[in-house]
Structure 1
Amino acid sequence: MTVELNFQDSGGEGTPLIVVHGLLGSADNWRSHVKQWQEQRRVIAVDLRNHGRSPHADGMSYGEMAEDLLALMDRLGIDRAHLLGHSMGGKVVISLARMTPQRVASLIVADIAPQKYGHGHDAVFAGLRNLQRGRPENRREADALLAEHVEERGTRLFLATNLERDAEGMLALRVGLDQIETGYEEIMQAPAGEGAFDGPVLVLRGGRSHYVPDSALPALREVLPTAEVVTLQDAGHWLHAEQPEAFQAKVNAFLSALSA
């Protein structure tokens, strides 16, 4: 059963760009990019199920998340769209492109390959559970609770974007943490669908990230045979946040070439 996703729509004409965040992210993380892109095109940033302001629901498979996104396109009357996905969101848009290629004008995949990954979020989940139990009153307390398990300050700041005040005035997580943890094995899997998507594809990877090594490129090209692979040398996994101007420039050049 599909989930009615929360979204932010800039409005405008032409083929829209739909932006899909990664694990434990949200549409809010993309505000600065959306502000730039909306000057040129309609941009829709979504919250996936169990993230942001979207409903919580069991199931985190890529087939289910792609169906959620397709249902949103139907609801908005969007026949075709450019799809941009980061990390987990990248697997979602690859899944949709494989399942319904006629609905996809192009793909922009940010720092993920269409393959299965190993577990790597144990400390993050432990930190979020610690935060839940601690019931912090302010962001300083929240950061201290996360820091007991998550050493990297940048990661803690990213996780803290999921905090909001509850009815009692305490800081609480808005993500469906139970559903995400239960579905974590599904999140680590390869994208849904079969075969290759042969439409236009841009793959952006971070030079300091381990998510899309050169060894992954042959398998990537089996699924995305037309992919242009671009490396942002001084960026890690959160390349859109670490190298925002370079990220913007590559996306703009790719989309502009398609409409030329």
Structure 2
Amino acid sequence: MKPATLWPDQLLPAHSVPPPWPGRKVRLDGLVTYVRETPATGPDAEPALYVHGLGGSSQNWTDLAGLLADRLDGQAIDLPGFGRSEPGQRYTVPVFAQRVIRWIEHSGRGAVHLFGNSLGGAISVRVAALRPDLVRTLTLVSPALPFLDFRRSLQGRMLPLLAIPQGERLAAWRLAQVAPEVMAKEVMEACVADLSRICDQRRREALEEIQVRYQAEHHAAAYVRTFRGLVSSFLRSYLPGSGSLWRMAGAVQAPTLVVGGRQDRLVDVRVAPQTARVIPDSRLLMLDGVGHVAQLEVPRLVARAVVGLLTETG
């Protein structure tokens, strides 16, 4: 593990607030996956794929993908049951990872620079470990790798739902009681340390995303079942066997950047440094005053570290 290298800020594209990148629905293996495209602005751009976290969507990558468009030809997918993708039958890290692998294969662009935030980070670690031929570099933003002290996460409050039969029904009922504006505010406060960094346009878009979720009957079930699958993967990681996410992290061959926020309220802040220690060829960037979604809160800082990784690895 070594410190991340930061590319000079003045060499990044000028500051802008792009709208969400255009998207399309693609039927793959009988299931519709929604993908947003960030067209490359440079002639030598290489393929990249962005994977969001629990409850997120492809929109979470709008700013970072735009800042990297001169180097990366970006795609961001909505995982099954989230954003505008159709629901799946199972919601586990292995199932999501297989979906990402199938998408990379289906897109026919070859190996990608793979990005994952939170749950997307856990998924991306599994993809990189199982299919090193598909991953050029790996960037993990607050990766949700296993930790057992759920007092260090606001999502620990959801644990009782997992013990209730059909707890997704209770989650759906609670969603129906909370106005979309209130839910959007709660989500933003949980994910972002300094809300002043989030512009009005991004706040409006976050509200629109919440409204899309409210219209999807499957969303509450997908959220609870995915959380259950993530917790199960945490527990299995401390048992013998090949399915441990920590053991998989140790098998990652791709040059890796790990970004963590010291004010992360959803993933134990000790996980990012531990991830960087376990992955053999890793760089670590810990950010003071930043929360769970650094790519949303401080996208230029994250972009500088990514370009540093890309420059270093050629």
- Give the TM-score band, short-chain normalised: 0.7 to 0.9
Q: How does 1:4-153 map to 2 (within 5 A)?
A: 4-12=32-40, 14-112=45-143, 114-117=145-148, 118=150, 119-120=155-156, 122=158, 129-132=173-176, 141-144=179-182, 146=183
Contact 1:56 1:179 in 2 (8 A): yes
SS at match of 1:5: strand
* Deviation (angstroms), 1:193: 7.7
Q: Which runs of 5+ in 2 are unaligned?
A: 1-28, 162-167, 192-202, 235-244
* Deviation (angstroms), 1:9: 2.2
* Deviation (angstroms), 1:127: 7.4
* Deviation (angstroms), 1:142: 2.4
Provide the identity percentage.
20
- Give the TM-score of the pair, scaled to structure 2: 0.67
Contact 1:5 1:69 in 2 (8 A): no
Q: Relative to 1, partners in 2 of residues 1:174 and 1:192: Cα closer, same or farther, differing over 3 Å?
A: farther
* Deviation (angstroms), 1:10: 2.9
Report the AA paired with residue 263 of structure 2. R
Contact 1:162 1:173 in 2 (8 A): no
1:133-187 CA-to-partner distances (Å, cap 9, x unmatched) read 56xxxxxx4224x49xx85763496974433469xxxx63476221321232212
Q: How does 1:148-167 map to 2 (within 5 A)?
A: 154-155=189-190, 160-164=207-211
- The equivalent residue for 1:233 is 288
* Deviation (angstroms), 1:228: 0.9
Separation in structure 2 between the aligned mates of residue 208 and residue 89 of structure 1, nearest angstrom: 19
Q: Relative to 1, partners in 2 of residues 1:58 and 1:246: Cα closer, same or farther, differing over 3 Å?
A: same
Separation in structure 2 between the aligned mates of residue 173 and residue 121 of structure 1, nearest angstrom: 23
Q: Relative to 1, partners in 2 of residues 1:152 and 1:113: Cα closer, same or farther, differing over 3 Å?
A: closer
* Deviation (angstroms), 1:121: 5.2
Separation in structure 2 between the aligned mates of residue 153 and residue 27 of structure 1, nearest angstrom: 16
* Deviation (angstroms), 1:72: 0.9
Matching of residue 201 in structure 1 with residue 256 in structure 2: yes
Q: Relative to 1, partners in 2 of residues 1:165 and 1:216: Cα closer, same or farther, differing over 3 Å?
A: closer
- The equivalent residue for 1:180 is 223
Separation in structure 1 between the aligned mates of residue 282 and residue 57 of structure 2, nearest angstrom: 26
* Deviation (angstroms), 1:27: 0.7
Q: Of Structure 1 and Structure 2, which has the larger fraction of its residues in helix?
A: 2
Q: Relative to 1, partners in 2 of residues 1:14 and 1:151: Cα closer, same or farther, differing over 3 Å?
A: closer
Separation in structure 2 between the aligned mates of residue 4 and residue 80 of structure 1, nearest angstrom: 22
Q: Relative to 1, partners in 2 of residues 1:253 and 1:161: Cα closer, same or farther, differing over 3 Å?
A: farther
Q: Which runs of 5+ in 1 are unaligned?
A: 135-140
Separation in structure 2 between the aligned mates of residue 38 and residue 205 of structure 1, nearest angstrom: 23
Q: Relative to 1, partners in 2 of residues 1:220 and 1:175: Cα closer, same or farther, differing over 3 Å?
A: farther
TM-align CA RMSD = 3.3
Q: Figure out how many residues of one structure are paired with residues of the other and give that number.
A: 245
SS at match of 2:156: coil
- Give the TM-score of the pair, scaled to structure 1: 0.79
